[in-house]
Structures are given as C-alpha cells and as structure tokens.
Amino acid sequence: KQEVTQIPAALSVPEGENLVLNCSFTDSAIYNLQWFRQDPGKGLTSLLLIQSSQREQTSGRLNASLDKSSGRSTLYIAASQPGDSATYLCAVSSNYQLIWGAGTKLIIKP
Amino acid sequence: KAGVTQTPRYLIKTRGQQVTLSCSPISGHRSVSWYQQTPGQGLQFLFEYFSETQRNKGNFPGRFSGRQFSNSRSEMNVSTLELGDSALYLCASSLVGTGGTYEQYFGPGTRLTVT
C-alpha cells in the first residue's frame, strides 16, 4: 500500500531564505508526482508536476526533484517571501488516484 | 479557459439527510476525481470517473457514490449523513494519458457541515 510522508510538518523561516520541503513515498511504481499549495480555507493550487520519467521541474522560484528509486521528492523554494506562507502538499499518482502526504505548513516571517 | 467549478460552495445538513455535490471540469478534460479533506484524515481519494465509467474507488462506505454525465460533469452523493462526513469535498479534472492522469486541476471545494 502506497504511503506518502512529508517532513517537516511545519516550518517557520525568515523572509529571503532558501528552503527545502521533503516528500517520501513507499512504492516507486508511480505515474507522476505533483506538488500543491493550499491557503487557509481554500482549495488546492498545482505548483509543479513531475512525470515518472523526469528528474526535475522548475517554475519561477520553485524547483522540484524526483528520485523514484529512493522514493523521494524535494521542493526547493528560493528567496522565500511572506506570500509563500501556506501548506504545501505532495501527492503521487497511480491507478488513476492521487495519494497524499499530510503537508508541510510553511510560515515566512517578514 | 474556465477552471473547475463546484456547487454549492457551502452546505449545512442534518444527520440522516442526503446531499448531492456537483462538479464541472475544465473544458476538454474527461477525467474527474473526488477527494475528501478533513483535519484528522487529511486528503483522501473518493473515486475517479472517465467517460462515465468509474475506474477507481477509495476506501469509503457505500453511502458515498458518484456518477459522470456524457458532458463530463460529475456529481457525488452522500446518503444518511453522519457527523464525520463534515469535510471539504474537492473535485479535480485532468487530461488522461496512457496508464494514468496528467496534472490534476482542483475546484474551490464544497464545505459540508453536518449537524
């Protein structure tokens, strides 16, 4: 049974720092992996999708990597800003469903 | 292009009642998935539909059901509501590749409160 874990559960850093969020999964037979952002009381915004054959994807200040063999993905956020404060979720796709981590709650202090 | 829309956005129901939630996918997307989000359990997969066929179902009781129409719009129904069904219900749509779905785009969700 696929399990997805995100570490840390919460993170508070000063503005301007570069940071890394971690996601691990137990079964490497995935179709793709997505990173999402969720603001309090809101829905989910897709940030990056990495196909199983890819190693990384970049969008602006965000970079996500995928190592299927070790069951790990990282989301790198460069030059963090207060507007980056949100909960970040990773999800792996297999058999037409997304299996989710519990999320990392990120607070960027001005 | 319009995003995924869900109606209603908020709903308050009483235990024992039933509820129907609606989801309209992004134009051209034929795969629609439903997820339940609660503080205790996080995000959990309910079911996925493609071309009016349910291809996968999560571990939820039979009180949770869904369907998809020929225009790809989808509905989910919860019968005999329980207090524990209070949650944010999220719908997502996507294009479909060989063996799985591509990037999933989520609607704003329907917040269901059962009293």
Question: A90 in contact with B at a CB cutoff of 8 Å?
Answer: no
Q: What is the DSSP letter of A55?
A: S
pLDDT confidence of residue A65: 97
The answer on pLDDT for B97 being more than 70 is no
Average pLDDT, stretch B83-104? 87
pLDDT confidence of residue B102: 78
Q: Within 13 Å and on the Cβ side, how many CA atoms surround B57?
A: 12
Nearest 5°: the CA angle A2, B74, A1 is 10
Question: B60 in contact with A at a CB cutoff of 8 Å?
Answer: no
Contact between A96 and B33 using a beta-carbon 8 Å cutoff: yes
Measured in angstroms, the CA of A109 and the nearest CA of chain B are apart by 24
pLDDT confidence of residue B99: 64
Question: B26 in contact with A at a CB cutoff of 8 Å?
Answer: no
How many beta-carbon pairs under 8 angstroms link A with B? 61
Nearest 5°: the CA angle A64, B4, B96 is 60
Q: How far apart are CA A40 and CA A105, in angstroms?
A: 10
Q: Which of residues 3-62 of A touch B (CB under 8 A)?
A: 31-32, 34, 36, 42-46, 49
Question: A89 in contact with B at a CB cutoff of 8 Å?
Answer: yes
pLDDT confidence of residue B38: 95
Query: Exposed (0-12), middle (13-18) or buried (19+): which is B79, by Cβ within 10 Å?
Result: middle
Question: B39 in contact with A at a CB cutoff of 8 Å?
Answer: no
Measured in angstroms, the CA of A2 and the nearest CA of chain B are apart by 13
Average pLDDT, stretch B53-63? 95
The answer on pLDDT for B20 being more than 90 is yes
Extract the tokens encoding B38. 């609660």
Which of the four pLDDT bands, split at 50, 70 and 90, describes residue B98?
low
> How long is chain B?
115
If one counts every other C-beta atom within 10 angstroms of the C-beta of residue B61, the result is 10
pLDDT confidence of residue B2: 82
Amino acid (1-letter code) at residue B68: Q
Q: Which residues does chain B have within 8 Å of residue A99's beta carbon, measured at their own beta carbons?
A: 45
Average pLDDT, stretch B42-68? 95
pLDDT confidence of residue A94: 84
Nearest to A46 among B35, B42, B103 (CB): B103
- Average of per-residue pLDDT values in chain B: 94
Contact between A96 and B106 using a beta-carbon 8 Å cutoff: no
Q: Which residues does chain B have within 8 Å of residue A46's beta carbon, measured at their own beta carbons?
A: 103-106
pLDDT confidence of residue B95: 87
pLDDT confidence of residue B78: 98
Q: What is the CA radius of gyration of chain B?
A: 13
Mean pLDDT by groups of 10 residues along chain A of 110 residues:
94 96 95 94 92 94 96 97 97 91 96
Average pLDDT, stretch B39-47? 93
